[in-house]
Amino acid sequence: MNFDNNLPIYVQIGDYLKKQIISGKLKEGGKLPSVRDTAKELKVNPNTVQRSYQELERESLVFTQRGMGTFVTEDKDIIKNLKKGYGNDIIKKFMEDMKTLGFNSSDIIELINDMVKEEKDV
Amino acid sequence: MYNTDNIVEIKNLTKRYGNKSALNGLNLSIQKGQIVGILGPNGSGKTTLIKILAGILRKTSGEVIIDSHNPGIDTKAIVSYLPDRNFLYEWMKIQDALDMFKDFYDDFDEGKADELLKFMKLEKDMRIDGLSKGMKEKLNLTLVLSRKAKLYILDEPIAGVDPVARDQILDAIINNYEENSSMLITTHLVRDMEKMFDEVAFISEGQIILEGNAEGLREEKSMQIDDLYKEIFG
């Protein structure tokens, strides 16, 4: 994992973990690696990783069992909402880019439909 | 009174060599349990500062308090210091170096040293003069981290080592960092090390010109510490 943008490290680690939850690499109800193991893997100060975990907990994406560790939420709706949020962000950015290029909404839908058809054909 | 949350408190510290000052009224405090990065170019006063904390150089004026003591015998017992160059005799074997540390320091933990040597892929019968620069650095760090100190002071721990050794060194530092000890690390290789720091302090011409929580500075300036470093010193 590279930390190359201008956001604080804890935000970037949080983002990385969220993507792992969305993609199912971290399963619902599954255990997160310990703070220290994550710190080692990413070569980051353990206090920073701790803060990322706390942020995820604040957003109800993970919960901590005393003495057991940190686990991904078992609430499917929370994960679904997270996934939808990420998807929306990508689409919003895509729409802005397309409109900058001069496409209107119906042009965009047509292009996407063509693209989906092509994918099916392959 | 001193703030007991701090392991180190430095007030108005000055060090002069003849009529040239290396430290110029420097102020800095280090909280217990934190990893603090001292960032600055060559000649900014980093090593002078560290040598005063390690009890090797004497201050000209100002105050230095480490765990409520002035630098001296008391503080040498609780400060574990990694100099910026190899401090072992070339004729030694690694075993000799281990024995020397065991003799010198009551807090030396042999079990920890064995563990770290294994992790660094170093053997006790290797001779120091047969080690590469990266291996020497790894050995020096192994010895320093094997003490159960309250304050670890690492002067340029990754300067001039290859990327594999660098990663091993960073791993060893993270692995051996404990919440009840503190670390002070100097570096000019900010990009490689900035993720390790709770706090950073920028040093220039013997003074701290900017300090703060690393994440706080990233948030406030909207840039990584490495970019901030380039902006300040570039």
Give me the interface pTM, i.e. the ipTM.
0.77
Quickly state the pLDDT bin for A6 (edges 50, 70, 90): confident
Q: Tell whether the model's pLDDT for residue B97 goes beyond 60.
A: yes
CB-facing half-sphere around the CA of B128: CA atoms within 13 A: 17
**Closest CA of chain A from B188, distance in Å:** 18
C-beta atoms of B222 and A6 within 8 A: yes
Q: Tell whether the model's pLDDT for residue B1 goes beyond 60.
A: no
- The mean pLDDT value for B18-30 works out to 94
Q: Using a CB-CB distance cutoff of 8 angstroms, which residues of chain B are in contact with residue A48?
A: 195, 198, 215
**Closest CA of chain A from B86, distance in Å:** 25
Report how far residue A94's alpha carbon sits from residue B219's, in angstroms, rounded to the nearest whole number. Answer: 26
By Cβ distance, the residue of A36, A43, A51 closest to B195 is A43
Closest residue of chain A to B199, computed from CA coordinates: A45
Quickly state the pLDDT bin for A122 (edges 50, 70, 90): low
> Given the DSSP bridges, would you call strands B151-155 and B79-82 parallel, antiparallel or unpaired?
parallel
**Closest CA of chain B from A13, distance in Å:** 11
Per-residue pLDDT tens over the stretch A79-113: 999 999 999 999 999 999 999 999 999 999 999 99
Q: Using a CB-CB distance cutoff of 8 angstroms, which residues of chain B are in contact with residue A44?
A: 174, 195-196
Could you give the percent of chain B with pLDDT greater than 90?
Answer: 86
pLDDT at A101: 95
- The mean pLDDT value for B206-231 works out to 95
Q: Which residue has the higher pLDDT, B178 or B49?
A: B49
Q: Tell whether the model's pLDDT for residue B5 goes beyond 90.
A: no
Rg (CA), chain A: 18
Return the closest-CA partner of residue B183 out of B212, B220, B209, B145: B145
pLDDT at B2: 61
Quickly state the pLDDT bin for B38 (edges 50, 70, 90): very high
Report how far residue B59's alpha carbon sits from residue B232's, in angstroms, rounded to the nearest whole number. Answer: 27
Report how far residue B215's alpha carbon sits from residue A48's, in angstroms, rounded to the nearest whole number. Answer: 8
Closest residue of chain B to A45, computed from CA coordinates: B196
Answer for the pair A82, A18: CB distance below 8 angstroms, yes or no.
yes
- The mean pLDDT value for B36-52 works out to 94
Per-residue pLDDT tens over the stretch A26-78: 999 999 999 999 998 899 999 999 999 999 999 999 999 988 999 999 999 99
Answer for the pair B87, B139: CB distance below 8 angstroms, yes or no.
no
pLDDT at A60: 94
| Structure tokens that stand for A58 in this block | 């604040």
By Cβ distance, the residue of B34, B175, B214 closest to A40 is B175
Residue type, position B214, single letter:
A
| Structure tokens that stand for A2 in this block | 């590279």
Could you give the percent of chain A with pLDDT greater than 90?
Answer: 84
Report how far residue B37's alpha carbon sits from residue B224's, in angstroms, rounded to the nearest whole number. Answer: 14
Answer for the pair B107, B147: CB distance below 8 angstroms, yes or no.
yes
| Structure tokens that stand for B138 in this block | 């790894």
**Predicted model pTM:** 0.86
Per-residue pLDDT tens over the stretch B99-134: 999 999 999 999 999 999 999 999 999 999 999 988
Q: What share of chain B is helix, strand, coil (3-state, %, to 5)?
A: 35, 30, 35
Quickly state the pLDDT bin for B143 (edges 50, 70, 90): very high
Quickly state the pLDDT bin for B190 (edges 50, 70, 90): very high
Residue of A4, A41, A47 to mutate for B, most B C-beta atoms under 10 A: A47
By Cβ distance, the residue of B197, B218, B219 closest to A45 is B197
pLDDT at B177: 83
* Element at A48 (helix H, strand E): helix A46-58
C-beta atoms of A8 and B215 within 8 A: yes
- The mean pLDDT value for B164-179 works out to 88
Report H helices in B69-162. Answer: 73-76, 94-104, 110-119, 133-145
B167: left (phi over 0), alpha (psi -120 to 50) or beta: alpha
Report chain B residues touching chain A, CB-CB < 8 A: 34-35, 167, 170-171, 174-175, 177, 195-198, 214-215, 218-219, 222-224, 227
pLDDT at A1: 73
C-beta atoms of A40 and B215 within 8 A: no
Could you give the percent of chain B with pLDDT greater than 70?
Answer: 99
Place of tokens 């980093």: B46
- The mean pLDDT value for B130-157 works out to 94
Q: Tell whether the model's pLDDT for residue B66 goes beyond 70.
A: yes
By Cβ distance, the residue of B174, B197, B219 closest to A8 is B219
Report chain A residues touching chain B, CB-CB < 8 A: 3-4, 6-10, 36, 39-40, 42-48, 51
C-beta atoms of A10 and B219 within 8 A: no
C-beta atoms of A6 and B218 within 8 A: yes
Q: Tell whether the model's pLDDT for residue B83 goes beyond 60.
A: yes
